Structure 1
Amino acid sequence: MSRRKAPGEPGRTTIRDVARRAGVSVASVSRVLSGTYPVSDELRRKVLTVVRELDYVTNAHASSLAGGGTPTVAVLINDITGAAFTHVAKGVESAASLRGWLTLVGTTGDDPERELALLRLMRRQGVAAVILLGGAYDHDAYQLRMARFARSLDAAGSHLVLVGRPPLEGEVPATTVDYDNEGGAYAMASHVLSAGHRRVLVLPGHAELTTAQGRLRGARRAFETYGVPFDPGLVRHGYYDYEHGYGAVEESLRQRETFTAVLAGTDVVAAGAARALRAAGLRVPEDVSVVGYDDIPLAGQLTPQLTTVHVPYEEMGRAALRAVADRRQGGGRRRGGDAAHLVLGTHVVVRQSVGPPGAGGDHVRAPSVT
């Protein structure tokens, strides 16, 4: 096996070297690395194998530096431990590394002031784009703040990309990469209702969070479609964490609420809900069905495996980076065919956590926690 050429050596690895080793054209290598053209899985695998063997990405970094600096994107996330949006960050980083770009990650702690400070810092650093991940509290102050951020970054030659957040109103230089949040919740609630459940405990998330609002709208719309009365008294708002799932179910059982299924706003919330049911001596799904949202790896690791809504988080990250790259290639302007608001699809992943209601149907009352 030939050794890798060290960066800076005469005859340093080029895209032509990659094409020659892979036995494909330079154009094919370019298509694979840009990620903006459809290519076969076999071609992608062949090219990326050679890229790794020749350390081409590292050399691409050096070439970019010699040309005036490596493009850098900043990913800002509320909580870096949040399981779902870490996959978006992974998608951004993988797409950036293929182009020889760098990725910075910062956390805002859901603090508008820290978000503002980080955006200002990234603007001074001259990043190619700032990518904001996660839901938001969509009100007038938020719209005004984001519009100001977008225009400030645009004036500095950068760009704002919102991922999993609502699009900005009016003519604002920002790109939104979203997913069919409400549609996913509608499909999941429909799945639960089609199994025969009528009394469903709904844990959509924080009441003011746009993500939670969309998931609650989707669930209510499914109830309307099925002609089933929706009981607002079975809605429990809270954070997207394990503790909320556990506490909401525990409290509902203590209050002797009647329900045969739990519609959780995230897989992590669903895990907490399932644990609270087991602590009360109830089985999933024999006594109470539980579903989640996100389809993070945890969903397949629970017992029973969790039925949930798949969100293409990594693809959202890759799409966000592609939008930035396309903009730079177009001189900072969107090409005619580019959209400022991209929405990716969601779908239900059926596993083992949903069954029919107990023998008593809607009249089964879950026992209280003592």
Structure 2
Amino acid sequence: MSMKKGSLTLKDLAKIVGVSPATASLALAGDPRVNVKTRQMVEEAARRLNYVPNEIGRSLRAKKAETIALIFPNTPHNAFSHPYFVELLEGVTEVLVQNGFYLMVSTAPTEQDEQAAYDKIMMNRRADGIILWPASINDSNISRIVESGFPVVYLGRWHHNDVITVERDDFGGAYLATEHLLQAGRRNVAHITGPLEYQVSIDRLEGYKKALEDYKVLYDPSLVVTGDYTMESGAAAIRELLKRGVSFDGLFSGNDRMAIGAMKALHAAGIRIPEDVAMVGCDNMEMASMTTPALTTIHQSLREIGRVAATKMILLLTGQEVGAKQTTIPAEIVVRESSTSHVKV
């Protein structure tokens, strides 16, 4: 029987030998449940007919999917629309490709969908390990995964040290941003936070407070407004501060999107940046360099976070020494025109 090499299916092979496809599959995997005679018949036929098992069948037998799942839990914004996503993806992919692993991306809009997605990945071994983007601190699914014993690298801070994590220095970044404004002589520095059920928002608020404390400036809660990381919430925060008659000459925004929204609202109110209000954002997204004035912001390399996380995962899966379980990628400030006062003539 002449067959093109590689075109023979498991079903064909089973039919030729006279066994079920399931038995043929187990026989090729060397499963002890199949008697030796049958196994030899199947192996012999496979050799004779140049049967090439397909990747899925082989990976299921080996119980190694050679795939890493990158999971974005339900987040306040669609992960794909966030500029960070691409950078993180590039960092992760670079390492996986070098090591012959595939990448699977999973996003879930609600906690219920999220639980189903995780169960599928873990129970069915769709992936060998999970790189997990932080969810809300109230999300119970996250604890379940991180503590399930399944190989996980968490992209945030975890509350006990045996979990492998890679995180941004959100506290340090916020400290740098606030310090920069204080060093520029600003004394009433407002802060627009992200949603406070996210650790990143809490850490940035804490970094802001610590810088004020170190510079002997009293923390004033009326200068803090909560946003949701969208441009519109940044604009709304400025309108709220102005409506309340709160006086501020500096502004640290929890991300660049809110900073850009805030900038628009300040322009609309005839407030000059940086003369009247000096501004710093956070994320260093591409758009930050294109605003007028260009936005001073905090840079945290998501590409580096992706690379480090993927490297730790490969080491974990190949039984090598992971090294430091917790890694923090430092933040740096990128100074542009929005925070440096022009010389007034």
Q: TM (normalized to structure 2)?
A: 0.75
The answer for unaligned runs of 5 or more in structure 1 is 1-7, 9-61, 360-370
User: How far apart are residue 349 of structure 1 and its match?
Assistant: 0.9
Q: What's the CA shift for 1:134?
A: 3.6
Alignment of 1:159 with 2:148, yes or no, is no
Tell me the residue number matched to 1:133.
133
The amino acid across from 1:105 in the alignment is V
Q: Distance in 2 between matches of 1:273 and 1:185?
A: 17
- Matched with 2:115 is 116
Q: What per-residue deviation string (whole Å, max 9, x for no partner) do you get for residues 152-180 of structure 1? A: 3x3xxx411111x2214365xx4211021
Counterparts of 2:108 and 2:317 in 1: how far apart (Å)?
26
Residue in structure 1 matched with residue 70 of structure 2 by the alignment: 75
> Bigger radius of gyration, 1 or 2?
2
SS in 2 for 1:305: coil
Q: Residue in 1 aligned with 2:298?
A: 309
Look up the match of 1:277. Answer: 266
CA distance in 2, matches of 1:176, 1:321: 11
Structure 2 counterpart of 1:319, from 308, 316, 328 = 308
Partner of 2:339: 354
Cα separation, 2, equivalents of 1:216 and 1:97: 37
- Partners of 2:113 and 2:253 lie apart in 1 by 30
Equivalent residue of 1:287, what SS? coil
Decide whether the 8 Å contact of 1:207 with 1:238 is kept in 2: no
Q: Does 1:216 align with 2:201?
A: no
- Cα distance change, pair 190–170 in 1 and its aligned pair in 2 (3 A): closer
Question: Is the contact between residue 146 and residue 154 of structure 2 (CA under 8 Å) also seen in structure 1?
Answer: no
Higher deviation after alignment, 269-278 or 205-214: 205-214
Q: Deviations over 1:228-264 (max 9, x none)?
A: 1121111001211111101100121122221112110
The reply on whether 1:253 has 2:252 as its aligned counterpart is no
The CA deviation at 1:276 is 0.6
User: Is contact 2:161-2:326 (8 Å) kept?
Assistant: no
Q: Distance in 1 between matches of 2:266 and 2:275?
A: 11
> Measured at CA, do residues 168 and 224 of structure 1 come closer, stay the same or move farther in structure 2, by a change above 3 Å?
closer
Deviation at 1:148, TM superposition (A): 2.7
**Paired residue for 1:169, among 160, 164, 167?**
160
**Residue aligning to 2:329:** 344
> What value does the CA root-mean-square deviation take over the aligned residues?
2.6
CA contact (8 A) 1:180 1:344 kept: yes
Aligned to 1:363: none
Q: Which runs of 5+ in 2 are unaligned?
A: 1-5, 7-53
Q: Corresponding residue for 2:191? A: 202
Report the count of equivalent residues.
Answer: 283
Cα distance in structure 2, aligned partners of 1:254 and 1:323? 49
- Please say if residues 189 and 250 of structure 2, whose CA atoms lie closer than 8 Å, have aligned partners that are also in contact: yes
Does 1:146 find its partner at 2:131? no
Structure 1 pair 340–65 and aligned structure 2 pair: CA distance change class (3 A): farther
* TM-score, normalised with respect to structure 1: 0.70
Name the residue aligned to 1:91.
91
- Equivalent pair of 2:178/2:212 in contact (CA under 8 Å): yes
In the TM superposition, what is the alpha-carbon distance from 1:63 to its structure 2 partner?
9.7
Shift of 1:356: 4.3
How many angstroms apart in 2 are the aligned matches of 1:151 and 1:294? 30
Q: Is the 8 A contact 2:96 2:102 kept in 1?
A: yes
Q: For residue 186 of structure 1, what is the aligned residue in structure 2?
A: 175
Distance in 2 of aligned mates of 1:85 and 1:292 = 18
Q: Write out per-residue CA displacement over residues 39-72 of structure 1, whole angstroms, 9 at most, x where no aligned residue.
A: xxxxxxxxxxxxxxxxxxxxxxx99997866611
1:7-34: per-residue Cα shift (whole Å, max 9, x none)? x9xxxxxxxxxxxxxxxxxxxxxxxxxx
Asked whether the equivalents of residues 135 and 211 of structure 1 are also in contact (C-alpha less than 8 Å), the reply is: no
SS of match in other structure, 1:73: strand
Partner of 1:329: 318
Q: Which amino acid aligns with 1:342?
A: T
1:306 Cα deviation (Å)?
1.0
Give runs of aligned pairs for residues 22-61 of structure 1, distance below 5 A. none
Q: What is the CA–CA distance in structure 2 between the aligned matches of 1:168 and 1:187, rounded to whole Å?
A: 24
Preserved contact between residue 147 and residue 168 of structure 1 (Cα < 8 Å):
no
Checking the alignment, whether the CA contact within 8 Å between 2:135 and 2:142 is kept in structure 1 is no
Pick one of 251, 267, 284 that aligns with 1:262: 251
Structure 1 Cα separation of the partners of residues 159 and 218 of structure 2: 34
Q: Is the alpha carbon distance of 1:150 and 1:209 closer, same or farther for their aligned partners in structure 2, counting shifts above 3 Å?
A: closer
Q: Judge conservation of contact 1:75–1:103 (CA < 8 Å) in 2.
A: yes
Equivalent residues of 2:69, 2:130 under 8 A apart: yes
Whether 2:229 is the aligned partner of 1:244: answer no
**C-alpha displacement of 1:265:** 0.1
- Opposite residue 331 of structure 2, the aligned amino acid is T
